[in-house]
Structure 1
Amino acid sequence: MTGVTCAAMLVAGTATAADAASGSSDEKIVVTEQATDRILVLDSDRQSWQETKVLWSWRPSAANGLGDLVASWGAPSDAKLRHRDGKPHLLAVDSLGLATVVSYPDGAAYWATSVGTQPNLHSIELLPDGNVAIIASRGKWLRVYTASQGARSNSYVEFPLSDGHGVFWDNGSRLLWALGGDELVALELGGTPAQPELTEVRRTPLPTPKGHDLQPVAARPDRLWITTDSGVYQYSKSKNAFLQDYRGADRISVAGVKSVGDDLQSGQVLTALIQNKNLCTWCTDTATLNRRKETLTLHGAQIYKARWWVDPSTRSQ
């Protein structure tokens, strides 16, 4: 992915699959929509997508306290739901350099910074102490910023990682997992909130090149979703192994999957993969619900990632 935005008009679209009673979910979906440079939250039914019934949208602005960083926004590359002090927050990064955590639904900034366009930000995570981890592909680093020390705190600790694409804090193992182009790394967080430290505790080569997405498997706490350019895997932390023994692997594990995640309630696996005819060459206008084999389409959209609008730490097993 590069830091260039494709221009298009976002209009209502028509999903191609029929409704199915089994495998349906009440959860919402969040997408990074690059045609209009917005983070969008929608219901997970096809009518909402067909009629573009957006529940919530966000982009930086003077009104939400980020007017000075608007130039660092234009190709949103990740969006997640997390909680800070019991309150929901959007985590977002953009390839043009903005990294931010904003309260939901009012959109006010908890923390924000800009790293410029060169690093090419790909993912973000909120840590238990209030600090924020971000990862960059061209920057070849993972950084933990001391967001706990102030809304524009710019101090950080850096860990080198080639072609960094994904980052996830695992409450169970108390480790920060980072996905590079060729390896998955587990890091221990130490030090203090004001002076964090990172210590490598595990490094595992990927089964195929070019790691892309890293997410927890909701139904199996021992596992992480991992996508590469050519496939979708589940990584077992206890076995230190990449597996494709999950239900639906034959159709989920295809080339070009930019994001993946499962819904605990329904078992529904949500994916977004490159669409050959999209004006944005790394994007799609469609998210796929693999359990009920349904597609959700926003015609004219340029979606980079689609995720369940769920905080993994609040999921009940």
Structure 2
Amino acid sequence: MDATQAQAQAQAQTTATATATAGAYKVAITEQKKGQVLLFDRTAGFTDANVLWSFSTGNAPGWDHPFEVRFRETQRYGTIALMTFGKPGEGRAGIVDVTSKPHLTRADLMWSARITSYPHSIERVPRAGTVVVAGSRDRLHVFAPSGSDPATLKEVQTLAFTKAHAVLWDDQNELLWVTGGTLVRTYRVKGTLRAARLEKHGRDITIAGNGHDIQPDYARPGTLLVTDSHRVYSVDKTARTATVIARMSYVKSYVRHAGGQAMWTADPDVEDSVWGGSTVRFSTGGDRTRPGAQIYKARLYTTRFH
């Protein structure tokens, strides 16, 4: 075998590995045109026939434009989905039981709340039972329950945070990470149930601007992936440093699977009023397009925090 043949064989093996890895997970998208959260196999076409699970809002007032979906495990209910929706001045946060049935609507909500600060992201803190919503205008909303039932969630704290766009729980360090504007910041959660409160912890990390998304890097434990309007950063959680690893315009979400594949969404036309395009991009294994869709974020279907 000559060098060219060896290189071709190695490339074929790499492609086969990437394809196998690509088939090992599912992808959820927030589709803003029709007000839907949709789940697909990574390697299937993103068509109606291939939808594995969905939540549809009917684009009711406050429920249009889904921005976030996040899957988390609970002892009482199993897997739940946390979601945010809305337009400036009128939005909603909601929780549903993912395992109850394959196609859900607002009638299936376990809990919801009206949030007028344009909610872009939501996270649940285990044990404390706290739910934190990032209102992209200027604040964090902290909801706490009286027991294990999400229906008892009530807002107990509001914190100023300009342009808050994303929240993520770090179960390794028991910290809530938040990004927005030029900051990446962490909070401790003190207390449980209705006594839960956020307290700022550690020094802020500065990025170039308009922090947008924050996700685990499943291929690199100990690091997070943070985006702003033109960059993707790798954040070392211990050193609290941010290193630019990619430059791309108007990236809305970015994550890396444990197998090494990166997945992201971006706004292809910043001149219009639409916040996303019809394609989810992957570093290997081929992109996926849903014609006519307005995809804001793409999330791995996983309940893991890191």
Alignment TM-score > 0.5, same fold = yes
CA distance in 2, matches of 1:263, 1:163: 27
Q: Distance in 1 between matches of 2:71 and 2:131?
A: 13
Contact 1:91 1:100 survives alignment (8 Å): yes
Letter in 2 for 1:125: E
- Per chain length, whose mean CA-contact separation is higher, i.e. which structure has more relative contact order (CA < 8 Å, sep 6+)? 1
Q: Counterpart of 2:61 in 1: which secondary structure?
A: helix
Partner of 1:42: 40
Match of 1:307 among 276, 299, 303: 299
For the structure 1 residues 20 and 277, does the alpha-carbon distance in structure 2 shift closer, same or farther, using more than 3 Å as the test?
Answer: farther
What residue in structure 2 maps to residue 80 of structure 1? 70
Number of residues of Structure 1 aligned to a counterpart in Structure 2: 277
Shift of residue 254, structure 1, vs aligned partner: 1.0
For 1:277 and 1:160, the matched residues in 2 are separated by 28
Q: Based on CA coordinates, which of the two structures has the bigger radius of gyration?
A: 2
Does structure 1 retain, via aligned residues, the 8 Å contact 2:143–2:153? yes
Check whether the contact 1:121–1:135 (CA below 8 A) recurs between aligned residues: yes
The structure with the greater share of residues assigned to strand is: 2
After TM superposition, list the pairs within 5 Å mapping 1:214-229 onto structure 2.
Answer: 214-229=214-229
Matched letter for residue 165 of structure 2? H
- State TM-score, norm by structure 1: 0.81
Verify the 8 A CA contact 2:130 2:192 in the aligned structure 1: no
1:195/1:53 Cα in 2 relative to 1: closer, same or farther (>3 Å)? same
Kept in 2, the 8 Å contact 1:124–1:135? The answer is: yes
Quote how far apart the aligned CAs of 1:20 are: 4.2
Deviations 1:89-133 (A, max 9, x none): 1110012411011111325433211113xx110100011122211
Q: 1:286: which partner in 2?
A: 279
Aligned partner (choices 281, 285, 297) of residue 289 of structure 2: 297
What SS does the corresponding residue of 1:299 show, helix, strand or coil? Answer: coil
How far has the Cα of 1:202 moved from its partner?
2.2
Contiguous gaps of at least 5 residues in structure 2: 1-13
> What is the percent sequence identity of the aligned residues?
27
SS of residue in 2 equivalent to 1:23: helix
1:53 correspondence with 2:53? no
Counterpart residue number, 1:144: 142
| 8 A Cα contact 1:42 1:49, kept in partner | yes
Q: CA RMSD in A?
A: 2.3
Of the three residues 25, 28, 41, the one matched with 2:26 is 28
**Deviation of 1:174 (Å):** 0.3
Conserved 8 A contact 1:257-1:272? yes
